[in-house]
Amino acid sequence: MDHPPTFIDVKPLRRFGLDKKTVPLIQHIQYFPNPHRVFTELDYFFRQTELMLKQTGTRALAMLRFANIAAREQAQGPGGFVVNKVTVVGSGFVGATVAQYVADKDLADVVVVDILEGIPQGKTLDMMQAAPINGHDCNLIGTNDYADTKNSDIVVITAGIARKPGMSRDDLLKINANIVKEVAEKTVKLSPDAIFICVTNPLDVMTYLTWKTTKLPTSRVIGMAGVLDSARFQAFIGMELGYSVEDIKAMVLGGHGDLMVPFPRFSSVNGVPITELMTPERIQALVARTRDGGAEIVSLLKSGSAYYAPGASVAHMVEAILKDKNRLLPCAVYADGEYGLKDVYVGLPAVLGREGMKKIVELKLTAEELAALKKSADSIKENVDQMNKLLVAV
């Protein structure tokens, strides 16, 4: 596959005395597959080239080492670090909140793209004006041109509509599927090395559609919901017990909806299972509230839905990926036999790092828990089948 040149310009290096044997080797830097992942390539290239040049004399070797430093300086962004790039598709409340959190965490430059003229531009300009106060140097731009998303490390898809009064579930499914399919097609052409995080509802189904459309490895297409649902469960546990949420860990698996599966026995406060701290009745009440967490907010807002916690959940995943943190997080990932599930995107415990989803962790579940997880996955597969009937086959 041919790749466009990166932003490393070799021409200025000639003035430092690089000879005819060395310059062509340096020019291989021009063909890295992704300019935002240049350090590993640089290290490998210069190690190999240094071995080859040991016979050419100390002058050539010294020039090569100087070129290494110069090339690195050209590959770096502000502050001497490689600049990551995250694209957020959709400038609604969720998309804008994702962009804000990613920038505030100083994780990456952010491009927000939307078909609505002026909205992404205005929101990102507002965020840029907050940067001096929030203390980051990330660049945020809003655009209506997908060309600006080129060479993104991560693409977050939030584009879509919420269900409106009188709208059937099939209507919502068809509209959002057409939007997500188009978005995936456009972005993967410009960022073939990106990792995709899907947020659009129905989330598990849209994540499956994104994978089918992009034809990327399943490790590079992930859905957000499990992090959000687990955070809600954690928050409700903290509110119930009066303990710091920093000490609370929770696990919610399955689909993002009525059939999600909270796991009380895998939820704890600083290592103490919540089953030791609450009665079964109170735990079940929190489980029910977690399942209805999004609906509760919708009923209170009257118009609109949650966006702070969903945005924070996406930023949490982005951080785990860009920093290669190997975080064990519940995400919508592709099951290919794990937990007895096949050909479905569903919430499972997964390790996230720079390659995306590195592995699925299989927990020892009871028969009841496994049955609940399978029921949730079966519901997702039914929705995928329904989507395929509503769309041209994916």
Cβ–Cβ under 8 Å, residues 206 and 177: yes
Number of helical H runs and strand E runs in the chain: 12, 14
Cα separation values, 194 from 144, 178, 252, 350, 373, Å = 20, 21, 27, 18, 29
Cβ–Cβ under 8 Å, residues 318 and 100: no
Q: Is 3 annotated as catalytic?
A: no
Give the three-class secondary structure for 263: coil
- Dihedral sign, Cα of residue 51, residue 57, residue 61, residue 64: negative
**Which residue in the list 28, 36, 256, 316 is annotated as catalytic?**
256
Cβ–Cβ under 8 Å, residues 133 and 345: no
DSSP string, 10-71: -GGGGGGT--TTTHHHHGGGGG-S-GGGHHHHHHHHHHHHHHHHGGG-HHHHHHHHHHHHHH
Residue reference for tokens 């000879």: 19
* Superfamily covering domain 85-224: NAD(P)-binding Rossmann-like Domain (3.40.50.720)
pTM above 0.75, yes or no: yes
Q: What is the chain's pLDDT, residue by residue, as a tens digit (394 residues)?
A: 444 443 444 444 444 444 444 444 444 444 444 444 444 444 445 555 555 555 555 545 555 555 554 444 444 454 444 679 999 999 999 999 999 999 999 999 999 999 999 999 999 999 999 999 999 999 999 999 999 999 999 999 999 987 776 767 678 889 999 999 999 999 999 999 999 999 999 999 999 999 999 999 999 999 998 999 999 999 999 999 999 999 999 999 999 888 899 999 999 999 999 999 999 999 999 999 999 999 899 889 988 889 999 999 999 999 999 999 999 999 999 999 999 999 999 999 999 999 999 999 999 999 999 999 999 999 999 999 999 888 864 4
What is the assigned CATH class of domain 226-390?
alpha beta
